[in-house]
Structure 1
């Protein structure tokens, strides 16, 4: 293949996360861009002696965000509202950037809310950044 036609893959280190109404700095890690669909085995008495494989419900994995802890409490406040029974559903996007910072791909989730928050692990002999984790459950994700 000629060098001019070469298409290198994008690095997974250039990304940003957008959530309705929440303006936040960068994230260390973002995962959970998964969908799955379990098959349903089905057979009627007049069918051949094999199972039919029907499509079942589509499932989405929670989006998990990790970031270095700062004084910013926007995401914690969102989680706190959910714990108080005041769930605020928000739409959001995970955006893949190229090396120049230009947007290349986008995954949009809808009706998300924070279902889990984890604080940092502390170790008096460690030399790591304190990291927070937030899981966002949602009702669908699409590649835009």
Structure 2
């Protein structure tokens, strides 16, 4: 409420983040990251001698969504296309991808880690003669697990 003392505890802004591929310091600048989600599929079960005429629900297999990354296109920067081309030769190079939400000093406040990630889809920019925008490409990653860490 207006006029009350503030405790300095505010939600984190989402515009300052970094994305790193692999274990080395291979940081890439992105405009947008989306799809950091996980869900547990329910298993419905009913005992044969249960007096309730309904099922109980238990946690089942955990499912993760694809992560979508968008970045500006730069001259001679086609590293993601090369990574995607390697899949065609059945030579999938899986990477650990680390996404960090940063505070105002650049220190990580939350870290999402994708294990064994590889590109499933790349979308080039759309081109329009009347547009006044930066060319942006989209990279979609599949991964085998998502972990979250604070700090």
Deviations 1:29-55 (A, max 9, x none): 001110011211111321221201121
How far residue 24 of structure 1 moved from its aligned partner, in angstroms, is 4.4
Residue number in structure 2 paired with 1:111 = 116
Separation in structure 2 between the aligned mates of residue 31 and residue 25 of structure 1, nearest angstrom: 15
Report the CA distance between 1:22 and its aligned residue.
7.7
Secondary structure in 1 matching 2:28: coil
Query: Could you tell me how far apart the structure 1 residues matched to 2:84 and 2:49 are?
Result: 53
Match of 1:36 in 2: 39
**What is the TM-score normalised by the length of structure 1?**
0.92
Shift of 1:117: 0.6
Select the residue among 85, 95, 104 that pairs with 1:80.
85
- For structure 1, the residue ranges without an aligned partner over 5 or more in a row are none
Instruction: Report the TM-score, using the length of structure 2 for normalisation.
Output: 0.88
Quick one: structure 1 residues 12 and 35, their matched pair in 2 at CA, closer, same or farther if it must change by over 3 Å?
same
Question: How many residues of Structure 1 are paired with residues of Structure 2 in the alignment?
Answer: 143
RMSD: 1.5
- In structure 2, runs of 5+ residues without a counterpart are none
The question of 1:62 aligning with 2:56 is answered no
**Residues 27 and 78 from structure 1, CA distance in 2 versus in 1: closer, same or farther, beyond 3 angstroms?**
same
Q: What secondary structure sits across from 1:81 in the alignment?
A: helix
Contact 2:36–2:65 under 8 Å retained in 1: yes
Runs (4 or more) in structure 1 with deviation over 3 Å come to none
* Partner in structure 2 of residue 23 of structure 1: 26
Contact 1:96 1:103 in 2 (8 A): yes
